[in-house]
């Protein structure tokens, strides 16, 4: 299955929190989308790997993903290595995305920046014909996505461009709340964490609103680009 857009996250819920509105827009435009989680998020204070997997499946249905894969590289302890690069390269070559989204280039959680670097480099190496990969015993052809964009997470990073998600903000928040073990639940007996408060939940929408005001829309998501963004028609920038 070839995808148009493939989003990577160090943990289940990274993508939902940061760029799910943009993915929903892509699906609404007839594009095929997918998510690859690098880990199961098993070190999270609340919930566990099994619960996170169930929540991930629920979020995937809300987002109408064509595919979702978990590479189980090890929450908190995955490293930049040839082995992990090859696992990501295999997925890029399998799904042949035109666009890749990945974690913020730097962030509060160490996994985010490390995952960002891994995925970005894997996108480049996936295009080198002398790097050989076999998935399920089948040799793979080289494939390099046309662009790699980094979404913005906990720390504010000046975006290079913004995507209007005003029409899908409610669906974005629904996908986030699929992870009920992680976010605000007044009935939960789990320990409180920085992301389980009602304040954090409110900031998700508030940040989108703040970014939206910059481009005169109600809600937006921001991205940084590894190279200059080009358009064929100047009116595409309106």
Contact at 8 Å (CB) between 106 and 70?
no
pTM, whole model, 2 decimals?
Answer: 0.95
Please report where in the chains the tokens 């976010």 appear, as a residue.
Answer: 183
Q: How many residues does the chain have?
A: 238
Q: What is the mean pLDDT of residues 182-210?
A: 92
DSSP β-bridge partners for residue 68: 35
Neighbours of 226 (CB within 10 A): 15
Integer angstrom CA distances of residue 207 from 17, 118, 202, 221? 11, 27, 9, 8
Q: What is the mean pLDDT of residues 94-117?
A: 97
Q: What is the mean pLDDT of residues 111-130?
A: 98
Contact at 8 Å (CB) between 102 and 114?
no
Mean pLDDT of all residues belonging to the chain: 96
Q: Does the structure show a pLDDT above 90 at 40?
A: yes
Task: List the one residue out of 164, 183, 199, 236 whose CA is nearest residue 19.
Answer: 164
The predicted pLDDT at position 217 comes to 97
Q: Does the structure show a pLDDT above 80 at 238?
A: no
Phi, psi dihedrals of residue 36, rounded to the nearest 5°: -120, 120
Q: Does the structure show a pLDDT above 80 at 55?
A: yes
What is the set of domains in the chain, with CATH numbers?
A: 5-230 (3.40.50.10320)
Q: What is the mean pLDDT of residues 192-200?
A: 91
């Amino acid at each position: 299955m070839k995808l148009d857009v493939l989003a990577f996250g160090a943990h289940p819920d990274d993508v939902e929190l940061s760029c799910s509105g943009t993915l929903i827009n892509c699906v609404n435009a007839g594009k095929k989308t997918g998510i690859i989680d690098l880990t199961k998020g098993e070190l999270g204070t609340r919930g566990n790997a099994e619960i996170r997997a169930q929540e991930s499946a629920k979020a995937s249905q809300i987002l109408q993903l064509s595919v979702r894969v978990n590479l189980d590289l090890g929450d908190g302890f995955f490293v930049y290595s040839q082995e992990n690069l090859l696992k990501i390269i295999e997925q890029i070559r399998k799904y042949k995305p035109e666009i890749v989204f990945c974690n913020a280039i730097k962030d509060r959680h160490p996994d985010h920046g490390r995952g960002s670097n891994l995925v970005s480099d894997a996108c480049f190496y996936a295009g080198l014909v002398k790097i050989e990969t076999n998935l399920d015993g089948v040799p793979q052809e080289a494939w390099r996505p046309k662009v790699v964009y980094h979404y913005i997470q906990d720390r504010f990073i000046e975006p290079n461009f913004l995507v209007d998600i005003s029409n899908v903000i409610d669906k974005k928040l629904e996908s986030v709340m699929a992870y009920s073990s992680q976010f605000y639940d007044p009935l939960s007996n789990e320990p409180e964490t920085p992301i389980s408060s009602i304040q954090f939940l409110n900031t998700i929408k508030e940040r989108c609103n703040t970014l939206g005001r910059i481009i005169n829309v109600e809600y937006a998501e921001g991205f940084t680009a590894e190279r200059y963004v080009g358009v064929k028609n100047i009116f595409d920038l309106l």
